[in-house]
Amino acid sequence: MIFKVLYQPQENENPSRENTQSLYLEADTEVTARQLVQDNTNYNIEFIEPLTGKHLEYEQENPDFKLTEFNK
């Protein structure tokens, strides 16, 4: 499943809409997706959203859509 992760680039930063960034990643569950991001970055995760169907198709049309892969 593909997840969209909304985050702040700095772990100690309070969430603000202007600084929110996103990445896309493939994982089996939301818990696994969160663990991957936490293990490989210092991001302050705001929200993790599963993408399916038309919502996934819409996101894939964005030129910035790219799956993030972390080295294991």
At 5-51, the pLDDT tens digits run 999 988 777 778 888 999 999 999 999 999 999 999 999 999 999 99
Please say whether the beta carbons of 39 and 1 come within 8 A.
no
Q: How many CB atoms lie within 10 A of CB 7?
A: 22
At residue 28, the pLDDT reads 95
Q: What is the pTM of this model?
A: 0.88
Amino acid identity of residue 49, one-letter, is E
User: Is 72 or 33 the better-scoring residue by pLDDT?
Assistant: 33
At residue 72, the pLDDT reads 60
At residue 4, the pLDDT reads 97
User: Is 50 or 64 the better-scoring residue by pLDDT?
Assistant: 50
